[in-house]
Amino acid sequence: MTEENVNGEEKKEEKEEQEEKIEINFDDNPIVKALKSRFSDDILETYCYSDKTDELTVKVRKEKIKEICQFVKESPELEFTYLADLTGVDYPERDERFDLVYHLYAVNTNQRLRLRISFKENEAVDSVVSVWQGVNYYEREAYDMLGIKFTGHPDLKRILMPDGWEGHPYRKDYPLEDQKTPKQRLKRERP
Amino acid sequence: MPVAETEKILLNMGPQHPATHGVLRVILELRGETVLGVEPDIGFLHRGIEKIAENLTYTQILPYTDRLDYVAAPAWNLAYCEAVEKLMGIEVPERAKYIRTIMAEISRISSHLIGVGTHALDIGAMTVFIYCFRERELTLDLFEHATGSRMLTNFCRIGGVMADLSDEFLKRAREFVDIFPTRMKDYEDLLTENRIWLKRTKNVAVITADEGLNLSLNGPNIRGSGVKWDIRKAEPYAAYDKMDFDIAVQYDGDAYARYLVRLEEMRQANRIVDQGLKNLPDGEIQAKVPRVIKPPKGEVYVRTEAPKGEAGFYIESDGTNKPYRLKIRTPSFANLESLPMMAKGGLVADVVTAIGSIDIVLGEIDR
């Protein structure tokens, strides 16, 4: 295949995708239904990637995240007892700079759910350690790498970078090739 | 007899310690021989793979995935490729799916051999370690034959695999599949009913199913606590939906149960490799993939059952040829969170048992 060919194919594909933007309505989805019955005002958006309905994302209001987590874990019809992952994403150009993405799994019913919240740089988020203890390290990682502050976390400190490190490496404005040496970055007082 | 009051002391274990499986530092709070508190300290191997990945194209990221769990590299290649394929909507040819499954299962055997071997070594049973490495050598030879590399295989490609399996490989793999069950008898003879092994592992580092799930414990460790959950069955990928195998599960939740789960998983992995070799279909090994991989805007989270547990890739695409955010969900990172609960209240020597029984690899934790 020549390169032109490849590029030509690609452009065609892109066009097709733009034409048929798939809008899937999740109102009949049992998870969304259960969530909406309780938190109708706090659910901002439900969407999925392309046509893949197993990639369900529910965007919620950040103030309610702890309540919603408590609900999805304890409600007998949902039972999301297992937290798979928590990821922080940085959008420096946005007003609400950070996103937090919670990946939940229900072992009994084999279902996945992704919760998403957005918030501003200086806002703190409610920690969900009281809901899933396993989120402890993930929240510490989000704090370490992106500088997200959690209220109610029992032991919020750096986890991968050393204590006293300056800056948060996974922020988009943190340089890839650091001009400072690790010694200059590390502001730790020796005991 | 009155018990003498002893002082609380802090003991530093690691980062350079033979029983911490790499560069893990554990701070132990002790009163006499009893462990009052355990605090793992990680990050000594941090390389910032997620940050590096944001500045590489999708194909360039592939070699970095080897270096996550360096004792089972094909499993991580597979996890990453599955994620990008879902993002791009690529359908992988059947033969490539089978080859991937075979390689992933050989890497599971390879990883569990290290898991069981080093766990036994930590406790003092050195012979098992030597036996495990004897068979691991065979699996590494297989990798070398198929990929040209013994450890960092970089075998999967987006849309397929790097190379087809040669007849010589199939012959050798067949030999391996045939002898492996007999070799496994050696470990079992040495450990399963060994009184010292039983005393050191039974009722040690116990964790219940509810506690484990709450702490995001996953993989063979949670199956040792009686949760019958395996991503290969629950959300099949590659060719696992066509394979006949059982989920290894034990109910005691102690170090011994986790050891039994790993043994059974090796047996099942051997079964899968056997079926894969028998039913390997003919055909292409690489799907047609655009040269520049530019997924549409959006995000996916794809998980696979790596030897250590749920290996997930969360990729957020902004429509360019580089991922906007790539998060690697590593099983060992989550498994380590259970260590304090397992080791608290036990003896110092049992901390070593607990670390060995959850089978962590630090390359994956620190990323």
Average pLDDT on B151-179 reads 89
Cα–Cα dist A115/A136, whole Å: 17
Percent of chain B with pLDDT over 90: 22
User: For the segment B255-274, what is each residue's pLDDT rounded down to a tens digit?
Assistant: 999 999 999 999 999 999 99
Residue A37 tokens, joined: 């019955």
Residue A164 tokens, joined: 């006293």
Concatenate the DSSP letters of all residues of B318-338 into one string: -SSSSEEEEEEE-HHHHHHTT
Average pLDDT on A133-143 reads 90
Contacting B residues, span 285-344, partner chain A, CB-CB under 8 Å? 290-292, 294, 296, 298-301, 303, 310, 312, 314, 316, 324-325, 327, 329, 333-334, 336-337
Average pLDDT on B272-285 reads 89
Confidence class for position A2, pLDDT limits 50, 70, 90: very low
Give yes or no for residue A3 having a pLDDT over 50.
no
Please give the pLDDT value at position B112. 92
The secondary structure of residue A167, as a DSSP letter, is: S
Contact B292 A87 (CB under 8 A): no
Please give the pLDDT value at position B3. 65
Cα–Cα dist A30/A28, whole Å: 6
Average pLDDT on A160-171 reads 86
Give yes or no for residue A191 having a pLDDT over 80.
no
Please give the pLDDT value at position B107. 92
Percent of chain B with pLDDT over 70: 99
Nearest chain A Cα distance for residue B282, angstroms:
23
Average pLDDT on B98-125 reads 90
Give yes or no for residue B296 having a pLDDT over 70.
yes
Residue A6 tokens, joined: 């490849």
User: For the segment B67-100, what is each residue's pLDDT rounded down to a tens digit?
Assistant: 888 888 899 999 999 999 988 888 899 999 999 9
CA angle A12, A13, A16 (to 5 degrees): 90
Residue A176 tokens, joined: 């890839």
Mean pLDDT of chain B: 88
Q: What is the pTM of this model?
A: 0.87
Contacting B residues, span 250-289, partner chain A, CB-CB under 8 Å? none
Cα–Cα dist A97/B217, whole Å: 31
Residue A153's Cβ-count burial label (10 Å; 0-12, 13-18, 19+) is buried
Helix axes B94-123, B167-191, angle to 10 degrees: 30
Please give the pLDDT value at position B1. 62
Please give the pLDDT value at position A16. 47
Mean pLDDT of chain A: 80
**Cβ pair B26, B360 in contact under 8 A:** no
